[in-house]
Structure 1
């Protein structure tokens, strides 16, 4: 068992099935030593886990958990394409939060994804990041997160 798989198991986490694309894209693409993962919204069993604006219908804490779910889905996309064992570093995370007017804790929400990646990969999980508040996300999702992983 790889270190990443072992750590997921220690955390009591399993990778979800890869969500089939909802439009004209693929879940992940390898280009050289990198895997680019399409934006992940918080899905389970082919359905959004939650819908709404963070700071209104969705609490900051709930949104942080949803961002962590997006990270698990991103790891599943990498695993499906090249295997999670191939990941040597998390390079970049870009997170989007459907923010209610006045909600400014967008970085704290995306910490859900960043912290999970740090727990799974240790120092190799430290990454560059952008966290952006937006008016709307696909299907009414409260969060969406995309990733760039280095593979070896």
Structure 2
């Protein structure tokens, strides 16, 4: 069976460097067998590829792609904390936040971008509990943000 790193490469992706915090927090905190990953924005090469509200300035399809980028950034943060993604036992919970126009209700479909990537990378260990929540705004006018709780060896 392929390792998570090999699956990432098979998907044509590369784990980015961990995005430095934009405020007073750490990207991850490990407590026992769990790694708590702070909310990750969809930074690519240090910039947000899109800003604005989903259902207004940002399409749901673009937002779903950005949610996958958030998950990739979260995976990078986990690797930086534990050293080897093969030490991931399970993705326990994902929190997905969607800055959306008031009439937009497709939050679960947007956050599926993160959930689907986690399933592709971690297989059965990537199946998780989840929340997909609409919010009025997110830091830096990001359309999406994703956080996670991960069980590790």
Deviations 1:92-135 (A, max 9, x none): 00000001020000000000000000001111100000000000
For residue 40 of structure 2, what is the aligned residue in structure 1?
40
Q: Distance in 2 between matches of 1:36 and 1:78?
A: 9
Mapped contact 1:96–1:131 kept (Cα < 8 A): yes
Cα distance, 1:2 vs. partner? 6.2
Q: Distance in 2 between matches of 1:31 and 1:40?
A: 19
For residue 49 of structure 1, what is the aligned residue in structure 2?
49
Q: How does 1:3-152 map to 2 (within 5 A)?
A: 3-83=3-83, 84-152=85-153
TM-score by length of 1: 0.97
TM-score by length of 2: 0.96
Q: Which runs of 5+ in 1 are unaligned?
A: none
What stretches of structure 1 move > 4 A for 4+ residues in a row? none
Q: Distance in 2 between matches of 1:80 and 1:14?
A: 14
Q: How many residues align?
A: 152
Q: Distance in 2 between matches of 1:44 and 1:99?
A: 21
